[in-house]
């Protein structure tokens, strides 16, 4: 099964946050405190140059660009008791999304990025000393 990185909605950059919300395009929905999007919603050009430690980081200006058809509103990993609120397994609106392009929900393994909690705290204004910050 595949593993995915999840990125929380911007908290400080309200204009970029609104773009993320608009792109999710889910009527009446707004992201909760820990709502996140899967890395598959971000095109390659939205990511910084690959780092030596192998970690992936979104550019400061990154916005989700890959969407198509919703399969589910919430996914809970079978291996973790972690819900990803508002997450929808959806693909590119730039291409024709055929049925054969979708990954069945049962086959998606949700792996929470080990730095996700630190990233959330950092975006909420709390001080952190995450390894990712030190390596940059």
Instruction: Write the CB contacts of 49 (distance below 8 Å, at least 6 apart in sequence).
Output: none
d(CA 100, CA 19): 29
Mean pLDDT of the chain: 65
CA distance 90 to 24: 10
| Domain spans, the chain | 6-113
- This prediction's pTM: 0.52
DSSP letter at 123 equals: H
Write down the pLDDT at residue 1: 60
Contacts by residues 20-24 (CB-CB < 8 Å, ≥ 24 positions apart)? 20/63, 20/64, 23/63, 23/64, 23/65, 23/67, 24/64, 24/67, 24/86, 24/88
- State residue 14's pLDDT score: 95
Give per-residue pLDDT as tens, 21-39: 988 888 888 898 888 998 9
Do 72 and 120 touch, CB atoms closer than 8 A?
no
- Strand, helix or coil at 83? strand
CB-CB contact of 86 with 32 (8 Å)? yes
Report d(CA 2, CA 83) in Å as an integer.
17
Higher pLDDT, 39 or 95: 39
Which pLDDT does position 47 carry in this prediction?
92
């Amino acid at each position: 099964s595949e593993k995915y990185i999840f990125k929380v909605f911007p908290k400080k950059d309200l204009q970029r946050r609104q773009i993320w919300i608009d792109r999710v395009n889910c009527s009446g929905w707004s992201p909760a405190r820990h709502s996140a999007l899967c890395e598959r919603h971000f095109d390659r050009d939205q990511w910084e140059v690959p780092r030596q430690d192998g970690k992936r980081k979104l550019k400061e200006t990154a916005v989700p660009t890959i969407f198509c058809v919703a399969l589910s509103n919430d996914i809970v990993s079978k291996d973790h008791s972690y819900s990803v609120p508002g997450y929808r397994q959806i693909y590119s609106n730039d291409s024709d999304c055929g049925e054969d392009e979708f990954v069945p929900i049962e086959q998606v393994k949700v792996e929470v990025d080990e730095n996700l909690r630190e990233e959330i705290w950092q975006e909420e204004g709390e001080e952190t000393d995450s390894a990712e910050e030190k390596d940059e």
